[in-house]
Amino acid sequence: MGETDRDDLISIIEEQDETPDIPEELPLLPVRDVVIFTDMVLPLFIGREKSIQAVEAAMAGTDKFLMLATQKNPMDEMPSPDDIYRVGTVGKILRMLKLPEGNLKVLVQGIAKANILSYIEKPKGYHVKLEVISESYPETIDIETEALMRSVREQCEKILSLRGEMSAEIDTILESLEDPGKLADLIASNLKLKTDEAQQILELADPIDRLKKISEVLSKEIHLSTVQAKIHSNVKDEISKSQRDYYLREQMRAIHKELGESDERSQEMDDYERKIKKARMPKEAKKEADKQLKRLGQMHPDSSEASIVRTYLDWLVEMPWSNFSKDLLDIKKAQKVLNDDHYGLEKVKDRILEHLSVRKLNPEMKGPILCFIGAPGVGKTSLGKSIARAMGRKFVRISLGGVRDEAEIRGHRRTYIGAMPGRIIQGLKQCGTSNPVFVMDEIDKMGSDFRGDPSAALLEALDPEQNTDFSDHYLNLSFDLSKVLFILTANQPDTIPSALYDRMEIINIPGYSEDEKLIIAEKYLIPRQIKENGLKKTDISFSRQALSAIINQYTSESGLRNLERELATLCRKVARRIAEGNRKKHMITVSSLEKYLGVPKFIPEMDQEESQVGLATGLAWTQCGGEAMYVEASLFTGKGELILTGQLGEVMQESARAALSYAKANMKQFGLRHNDLENVDVHIHVPAGAIPKDGPSAGVAMAAALISALTGAPIKNDVAMTGEITLRGRVLPIGGIKEKTLGALRAGIKTILVPEKNRKEVSEIPNHIARKIEFVFTDSMDKVIDLAFERPPKKQAAAAKKQAPKKKAVPRKTTGTRKK
């Protein structure tokens, strides 16, 4: 209820007055959570109505006495006589103060112990008849009692010293008390004992017995205080002032340890120790893990730093440091898996089977770094899945398209909030092995900005000589990537940094011809779409002519994505009809395609219907494969300027200027005069003007179209040409021969003029494609003119001059070609 008023207590102890006369009947005031001893002074807050009435009745008396007895249950608001202890203390009200809420605050002093004989129930609360318990005070104190009193004083001083509450004032009070009962009551009133223990001491009438009981209690308190001091000493060195919560938890931990019990914190530490052993880490990683675990044990469990360390330990124990999947080294079985999943792609399959063969002979070999380059939809990513299945390894795929942050590859430092390892480490943790097939898609579409260059961060991971000690910024430990089979995919090699390009083994995956697409559609695409759309083989069938029409008239690509989309559209249309009740088998023929898919999306160019003057067919390579590209040249009266349109890039514009310079330099060879171009503007246009174009391979086609426009000689409509032109008319090699060949086939072209130095690339084109095209090799523009024109340009130009009407001569103006 309150603390003893020490000044009043001293004055009471010093006064040796005899006990005043106490009436036999007094009002009763039940008190809670405290036992009041003789000479004890303390404040009480009175709130219950009957208690207030008891205080008012006492105040109406002469001596202001009332009986103070402790309740057995402090939660009981209306205690009955059976709920109150019989032995209590007669108290005297020293002061009373009325509080604003109607409650009272009184200062009471214990006068004498008394025993309740009976209860008298009155309208204003209970009154009790009582009997004062008299104590016998010995005239002289024997040696045994003196020793007991000295022991009790020393015990009390020791407890107060352990608690840091000892002072000279308290020492004076203890030494001034010569009566055993008063000494026992004073110490009992300040020990903060439990209610039942304090009541037992109060009920002991013999002062010596009471003092002995106090001695036992003090001994117990000294032992508890000593343990508490020991706990405090063990914990004090490990905490700081800012870690009060941690201090309390450490106290609880030490208490549990004394009791032989375990707690959640210890359980967590034991779990981490077990996981670290199970992870089979390298020596360096285990040392770091043990160090971080020790740090975690010294931290507050709810601090932010502890959460960071806990996350780091989770990554360390879950990384596959020594987990490897066993390679499937049955070469024939692996070959069957690759053939079942993909048609063609023999070069890629041979490379994988070679790797497995070497792996079988040398299990310690390092994993190769393969890079598949090809048009979209040719099966680069799905080929990675097939390789993983053929080798019996786990498969991991990440996409690097649009990645601009180096931390995506190397991870973040742990000092940052929300730090994580890079995608490589994340992928290895996800698959749970250290030797998966790891596919990195769209390697050519990475960028760089102020956050670093991700492609440069890949150099260490993709270098077989360095990736045995790959270091992620988050883990900050070496991880062996040499057993990982990295497969990268790209649509074009131009945007791959040269340093990264040098570390990879490049495998070009060309587009598919019409025959290959037919086989793939029949073997893979149609069965897959029938299954995905809920159909059965008996519900739909495709004729080969219909598939060929879909390939040529509804798609125009090197890959297979659009073809599969069109097949999916057909299957959905049929699925709807079946769902509506039409259960007959649906035959997809050429005549029914327009009903299902609409009008054809791709039709042959009108320019191919006949040979024309000033129109040449070139071949272009794009990210989606090869395609035919038409170059138009036209002459009209002007000032001798060169006009270029069709969104041509710088390289392509330079090719056009080189073609014009070649034509001007060889005008006599074509039967023209030097002044024929002085008053004429030349306009070269490449259709599909909304599509940007660039590259040197259209130089030959531009020169042929320009010469055709100058001489009036038409170019054969079934001949396509590719190659870079020089000012002297030499034809230089170009790239993408197979893709351009497939583009020519799709455009219906039968003859291709190819630079002589590309003969080797032509020889690598599969026979089933090469036999459909006639390749003519040339190293100069003269041969191109002889092969591509229907009539020699010189004769055509001479004939045109004879037929042209004579014009009156006009003064010649000096003009020049404007530089671009």
Q: Which domains does the chain have, with CATH numbers?
A: 6-132 (2.30.130.40), 143-233 (1.20.58.1480), 248-318 (no CATH), 331-509 (3.40.50.300), 514-597 (1.10.8.60), 606-803 (3.30.230.10)
> For residue 820, what pLDDT band results from cuts at 50, 70 and 90?
very low
Six token digits for residue 94: 């020293």
Asked if pLDDT for residue 813 goes beyond 50, the answer is no
Q: What tens digit of pLDDT does each residue of 94-116 get?
A: 999 888 888 889 999 988 889 88
Mean pLDDT of all residues in 517-526: 88
Question: Using N-to-C axis directions, what is the helix angle for 143-163 and 168-176, rounded to 10°?
Answer: 160
- Enumerate the known binding-site residues for ATP: 374-381
Taken in order 635, 640, 641, 642, is the CA torsion positive or negative?
positive
* Residue of 192, 194, 174, 170 lying closest to 184 (CA atoms): 174
Q: How far is Cα 396 from Cα 99, in angstroms, rounded to an integer?
A: 76
Six token digits for residue 555: 């798609």
SS3 content of the chain, % helix, strand, coil (to 5): 45, 20, 35
Please answer whether residues 560 and 512 qualify as being in contact, where contact means their C-beta atoms are separated by less than 8 angstroms: yes
* Residue of 469, 257, 507 lying closest to 384 (CA atoms): 507
Q: How far is Cα 196 from Cα 712, in angstroms, rounded to an integer?
A: 125
What phi and psi values does residue 737 have, to the nearest 5 degrees? -60, -45
Q: How far is Cα 70 from Cα 465, in angstroms, rounded to an integer?
A: 86
More confident residue, 271 or 160: 271
HSE of 596, CA atoms in CB hemisphere, 13 A? 26
Please answer whether residues 590 and 544 qualify as being in contact, where contact means their C-beta atoms are separated by less than 8 angstroms: no
> For residue 722, what pLDDT band results from cuts at 50, 70 and 90?
very high
* Residue of 103, 126, 108, 104 lying closest to 116 (CA atoms): 126
Mean pLDDT of all residues in 267-273: 82
More confident residue, 345 or 372: 372
Mean pLDDT of all residues in 648-665: 90
Six token digits for residue 756: 């002589």
Order of strands across the sheet with 395-399? Answer: 395-399, 437-441, 485-490, 369-374, 505-509
What phi and psi values does residue 413 have, to the nearest 5 degrees? -65, 150
What phi and psi values does residue 538 have, to the nearest 5 degrees? -80, -5
Q: How far is Cα 751 from Cα 632, in angstroms, rounded to an integer?
A: 19
**Which residues share a beta bridge with 499?**
none
Q: How far is Cα 665 from Cα 661, in angstroms, rounded to an integer?
A: 6
Mean pLDDT of the chain: 82
Asked if pLDDT for residue 207 goes beyond 50, the answer is yes
Report pLDDT for 654.
Answer: 92
Please answer whether residues 723 and 778 qualify as being in contact, where contact means their C-beta atoms are separated by less than 8 angstroms: yes
Report pLDDT for 736.
Answer: 81
- The DSSP H or E segment spanning 644 is strand 642-645
What phi and psi values does residue 329 have, to the nearest 5 degrees? -100, 20
* Residue of 504, 381, 363, 379 lying closest to 438 (CA atoms): 381
Instruction: Give the least confident one: 234-243, 444-453, 681-690.
Output: 234-243
Q: How far is Cα 319 from Cα 714, in angstroms, rounded to an integer?
A: 69
Q: What tens digit of pLDDT does each residue of 723-744 get?
A: 999 998 899 998 888 888 888 8
Report pLDDT for 807.
Answer: 45
Helix, strand or coil, per DSSP, at residue 662:
helix
Mean pLDDT of all residues in 468-484: 87
223 class by beta-carbon count within 10 Å (0-12 exposed, 13-18 middle, 19+ buried): exposed
Order of strands across the sheet with 615-622? Answer: 642-645, 680-685, 625-637, 615-622, 719-721, 751-755, 774-778
Report pLDDT for 167.
Answer: 67
Mean pLDDT of all residues in 192-203: 83
Asked if pLDDT for residue 610 goes beyond 80, the answer is no
244 class by beta-carbon count within 10 Å (0-12 exposed, 13-18 middle, 19+ buried): exposed
CA 387 to chain centre: 27
* 317 φ/ψ sector (left φ>0, alpha ψ -120 to 50, else beta): alpha
> For residue 2, what pLDDT band results from cuts at 50, 70 and 90?
very low
**Which residues share a beta bridge with 765?**
none
Report pLDDT for 19.
Answer: 59
Please answer whether residues 372 and 509 qualify as being in contact, where contact means their C-beta atoms are separated by less than 8 angstroms: yes
Taken in order 155, 158, 159, 160, is the CA torsion positive or negative?
positive
Asked if pLDDT for residue 370 goes beyond 80, the answer is yes
Active site residues: 697, 740
Report pLDDT for 668.
Answer: 82
Report pLDDT for 164.
Answer: 65
Report pLDDT for 814.
Answer: 35
Please answer whether residues 754 and 650 qualify as being in contact, where contact means their C-beta atoms are separated by less than 8 angstroms: no
Distances (CA, A) of 379 to 392, 427, 648, 742, 748: 20, 22, 31, 17, 25
More confident residue, 241 or 106: 106
Mean pLDDT of all residues in 124-141: 78
Q: Which of 195-204, 366-375, 390-399, 609-618 has the highest mean pLDDT?
A: 390-399
Report pLDDT for 684.
Answer: 92
> For residue 241, what pLDDT band results from cuts at 50, 70 and 90?
low
Report pLDDT for 396.
Answer: 92
Distances (CA, A) of 630 to 6, 627, 646, 702, 722: 111, 10, 11, 9, 11
Q: What tens digit of pLDDT does each residue of 528-571 get?
A: 899 888 888 888 888 888 888 888 888 877 788 888 999 999 99
> For residue 809, what pLDDT band results from cuts at 50, 70 and 90?
very low
Q: Which residues of 414-442 are buried (b: 16+ CB within 10 A; e: fewer)?
A: beeeebbbbbbbbbbeebebbbbbbbbbb
> For residue 777, what pLDDT band results from cuts at 50, 70 and 90?
very high
Helix, strand or coil, per DSSP, at residue 425:
helix
Please answer whether residues 533 and 568 qualify as being in contact, where contact means their C-beta atoms are separated by less than 8 angstroms: yes
Please answer whether residues 701 and 618 qualify as being in contact, where contact means their C-beta atoms are separated by less than 8 angstroms: yes
Report pLDDT for 137.
Answer: 67
**Which residues share a beta bridge with 724?**
732
Asked if pLDDT for residue 4 goes beyond 60, the answer is no
Report pLDDT for 701.
Answer: 92
- The DSSP H or E segment spanning 586 is strand 586-588
Beta carbons within 8 Å of 717's beta carbon, 6+ residues apart: 607, 608, 609, 610, 611, 612, 617
Mean pLDDT of all residues in 386-407: 86
- Enumerate the known binding-site residues: 374-381
* Residue of 157, 162, 148, 229 lying closest to 187 (CA atoms): 157
* Residue of 387, 391, 346, 389 lying closest to 370 (CA atoms): 387
> For residue 769, what pLDDT band results from cuts at 50, 70 and 90?
confident
DSSP 8-state code for residue 468: G
Q: What tens digit of pLDDT does each residue of 50-99 get?
A: 888 888 888 888 888 999 999 988 888 888 888 889 999 999 999 998 88
Q: What tens digit of pLDDT does each residue of 165-197 get?
A: 666 677 777 777 777 878 888 888 777 788 888
Asked if pLDDT for residue 15 goes beyond 60, the answer is no
